[in-house]
């Protein structure tokens, strides 16, 4: 998935939680939706390695929970949504890294039409959520 799609879906899954806790928690949740791609920013040789595995998801969530359990929960949910979204792309994700290979449904290519449709659907759902708060 593209960064835009991860951010939209991260916002979508964070909105219901943000209503019951501080906005800072939501910000960390949205950061969690793009955190697995930190490997690109760190200049790692390969994308989708240890940062796209369940071990790093658990390790980072537990580390955050020492400071704030609400932030850790929303981080976990968003980070997991990133892994789920990437698992339906052709690249898959190495959930058990470094054991095994990449897993997933591998239905479509990142950045193509289906990726964009998921992002648009997320924007539509965010709009519906906001309208439901107003009405």
Question: Torsions phi, psi of 93, nearest 5?
Answer: -135, 145
pLDDT tens-digit profile, the chain (135 residues): 999 999 999 989 888 877 655 667 878 888 999 999 998 888 777 888 889 999 999 999 999 999 999 899 999 999 999 999 999 999 889 988 888 788 888 888 899 999 999 999 999 999 998 898 888
**Which residue(s) pair with 89 in the sheet?**
108
pTM for this predicted structure? 0.89
CA distance 8 to 25: 16
Tokens of residue 22, six digits: 């501080």
């Amino acid at each position: 998935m593209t960064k835009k799609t991860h951010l939209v879906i991260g916002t979508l899954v964070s909105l219901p939680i943000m209503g019951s806790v501080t906005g800072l928690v939501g910000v960390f949740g949205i950061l969690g939706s793009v955190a697995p791609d930190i490997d690109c920013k760190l200049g790692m040789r390969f994308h989708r390695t240890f940062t796209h595995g369940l071990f790093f998801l658990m390790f980072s969530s537990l580390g955050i929970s020492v400071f704030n359990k609400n932030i850790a929960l929303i981080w976990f949910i968003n980070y997991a949504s990133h892994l789920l979204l990437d698992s339906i792309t052709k690249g898959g994700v190495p959930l058990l890294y470094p054991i095994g290979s990449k897993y997933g449904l591998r239905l479509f290519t990142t950045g193509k039409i289906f990726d964009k449709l998921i992002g648009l659907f997320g924007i539509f759902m965010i709009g519906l959520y906001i309208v439901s708060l107003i009405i």
